[in-house]
Chain A
Amino acid sequence: MTLPAIQVRDLRKQFHRRRKRRGANAPEAWALAGVSFEVARGDTYGLLGPNGSGKSTLIRILSTLLVADGGDVRLLGHRLPEEQARVRWLIGRVSVDAAFYKKLSTRENLLYTALLYGLDPESAERKAMRVLEQLGMEQRTFSAPLEEMSRGMQQKISIARALMINPPLLLLDEPTTGLDPKSRRDVQAFLEDLRRREGTTILLTTHDMAEAERLCGCIGFLARGRLIAEGTAEGLRRQASAATLDDAFIGLTGETAASGEAAAGTPTSR
């Protein structure tokens, strides 16, 4: 039996706010209050939730950037945080902010990442350029500083950077937020093609219901740090007796996917 690419069991994370006066830090709401789900190899799983629902916290834990307070996380069979050094070779991440050295060119940023991963710079660069061409970028932009590029272009370069290392697991944290419709469509088509061609497992967080419906075989609704419901888009609509995924989300979570900070959660298991 093949192990799932992502196994998350009863995952909990709570942050603490520093008090101005002396004394212990004040605990805040649970960012993740007992989240459990699995993603099979080669699948695309969508996590939908409003701001503050715990999506980015979850991605950060899977990216080895945060240590959970409790629960069990395994990526491609490797447990976190114990096997984080191994996991780092297997994951690519695209965050909502395309984090680059803005004064450096596309080529310099990508070569830096290739070297950081110990790759042969020439073959890594060729692969990244191929991805960028597939995403509709022109070669002449590769030597321009990132600060001169639009957010959509930067986000495409961020995707090329993540794919340059050939990761079997891709963590996408709102990769199309703020993109124009054309760029958004380019990225979505590319991700569909990538999954089909390479069998890459993708975990995608988004506010965009249509995007989740288009790309994801399975969708989870996250609200107040808890996974409220999961299933196919059709299954979720049926479960909520709703006509659209938007309505299903509101019906099942009591929130809208694009709403502001969620209310305080309580630690519970799913």
Chain B
Amino acid sequence: MERGLRQTWAFMFRGYHLTRRYLSWVVVFNFYALTGSAAVALIGVAANDHQLTLTLIVGALLWNFLSVLYNEIAMSIAYERWEGTLEYTFMAPVSRLVHLVGVSLFALCNSVVNTTVVLGGLMLFTPLSLSGANLPGILVVILASTLAFVGLGVMAAALPVLSPERGAEGTHIFQGSLLLVSGVYYPVDVLPAWIQPLSALSPATYTLSACRKLVGIGNPATTAERLAAAPLSAVRGEIVVLVAMGLLLIPLGLWVFGRVERWAKRTGRLKRTG
């Protein structure tokens, strides 16, 4: 047990010290996330539409959180390839479950910091008030969606094992596709009919739908001063889907990763140069 905890901590320790060494880049990425989110939210302010502004703010915050979480996990193998340390991680006596749990925990910390920075920035640029929002309910939804996104991230992390260059590209293509089909800044029914079925497969669709209700978006009683949030029971359906997706995607992600790792060891793809 103690050994497992130390091994999990190893990945958080590594992530923390790498973040410290690349601090200027971390500041740049957070700044860019903040300005990008503020620019989107100000579209709603310019339209003088409080509901639109709230939709854009919720979309920006959730997408920051989920995309940073996904990206950190999905790119963890690609980073190791670039550093040249992948073989040493893979020959260490650490189970892949512990490895990916450690990576995911660090990714979660990173996402929380990033989203907090963006939230702080949005409060400066928009008349954002969270008074009346169902914040505990939002936390439950985010925790449920975290499971599903960890599963997706673990699956995507296998791509750079398959191919160093193409794999890293593939993780970003997948991330972009999620952004498009999940209706981050718009309802999914504005998408072309042929693409709409895909939105049902994205956990972000359910996260956004639930969080909008818990903030009070779409509720005519919501005003700029006071949000009319729905109770947690109103999003029970979305939470069930998200938990089910998490329970399916995490074991599936680990299985896919295991299969890809075995394939890489047969074909010699773990080699530093790929």
Contact = CB atoms under 8 A, between A and B. Distances in A.
A115 interface: yes
B45 interface: no
A97 B84 contact: yes
B7 A116 contact: yes
B13 A15 contact: no
Interface string A13-41: 00110000000000000000000000000
B91 A116 contact: no
B225 interface: no
B9 A65 contact: no
Interface string B126-166: 00000000000000000000000000000000000000000
A112 interface: yes
Contacts of A104: 14, 17-18, 21
Contact of A64 (B22, B91, B94, B272): B91
The listed residue with most A CB atoms (<10 A of its CB), out of B4, B10, B13, B91, is B91
B7 A118 contact: yes
Interface string A60-74: 100111110000000
B2 A118 contact: yes
B226 interface: no
Interface in B14-61: 14, 17-18, 21-22
B27 to A, nearest CB: 16
Interface stretch (B67-75, B183-191, B260-268): B260-268
A111 B13 contact: yes
B236 interface: no
Interface in A95-125: 95, 97, 99-104, 108, 111-113, 115-119, 121
B79 to A, nearest CB: 10
B94 to A, nearest CB: 6
Contacts of B83: 99-102
Given A15-B268, A16-B267, A67-B265, A116 B92 contact: yes
A57 B270 CA distance: 12
Contacts of B271: 60
A145 interface: yes
Nearest to A158: B88
A99 B91 contact: no
Interface stretch (A85-93, A230-238, A259-267): A85-93
B272 A99 contact: yes
A89 B3 CA distance: 13
B94 A116 contact: yes
A102 to B, nearest CB: 7
A16 B268 CA distance: 9
A67 B265 CA distance: 5
Nearest to B94: A116
Interface in B70-118: 83-85, 87-95
Given A85-B93, A99-B88, A112-B10, A66 B21 contact: no
5 contacts: A64-B265, A104-B14, A104-B17, A116-B92, A118-B6
Interface of B: 2-4, 6-7, 9-10, 13-14, 17-18, 21-22, 83-85, 87-95, 262, 265-268, 270-272
